[in-house]
Amino acid sequence: MIDKSLASFESRGSQPRAIGIMVALLLLCILLWGTFVIVPAGSRGVVLWWGSVEKRVMDEGLNFKVPMAETVMKVDVRVQPHPFREIDASSKEYQNVKMTGMMNFHIDPAFVNDLYQNADAAHQKRCRYWLTLSTV
């Protein structure tokens, strides 16, 4: 009877070790998954180190980041249209004119970290980010 209980005790001993290995592998996979970030085409990644904006800007493609310490905010730098309708203007002869048109703009990829740091959310929404005008 003592031999039976000893045998069942030995068979239970390997099960916690297997569970421990599985948990360690799961944590390792989560850690490795958090070390890479993909920045899509036409975007740049603003790197935040514990919430503060870094000078480093990530280019398109697969990039490395420090897990948990770095966060990457993606900013679109493609040319974007901004339509405007019936804006009041004044001609050279001081006559009132209503203008309708389209403005194309893009964000300069070299300054996306400055944009993210200096422009608040309301200003970004209102102005569709810091504009670098381009006429097309």
| 104-119 confidence digits (pLDDT tens) | 888 889 888 888 888 7
Residue 57 host element (H or E)? strand 52-58
For 58, other C-beta atoms within 10 Å of its C-beta total: 23
Q: Are residues 103 and 127 in the same domain?
A: yes
Both 13 and 44 in one domain: the answer is no
Structural domains counted in the chain: 2
Instruction: Enter the pTM of the model.
Output: 0.63
Same-domain status, 29 and 40: no
Query: Are 1 and 62 in the same domain?
Result: no
Q: Which of the four pLDDT bands, split at 50, 70 and 90, describes residue 124?
A: low
pLDDT of residue 47: 94
Domain around 17: 1-33
Q: For the chain, what is the total number of helices (H) and then of strands (E)?
A: 3, 8
Is the same domain home to 9 and 27?
yes
Are 128 and 90 in a shared domain?
A: yes
48 and 104 part of one domain: yes
Evaluate if residue 120 carries a pLDDT over 80: no
| 11-29: pLDDT as tens digits | 555 677 888 899 999 988 8
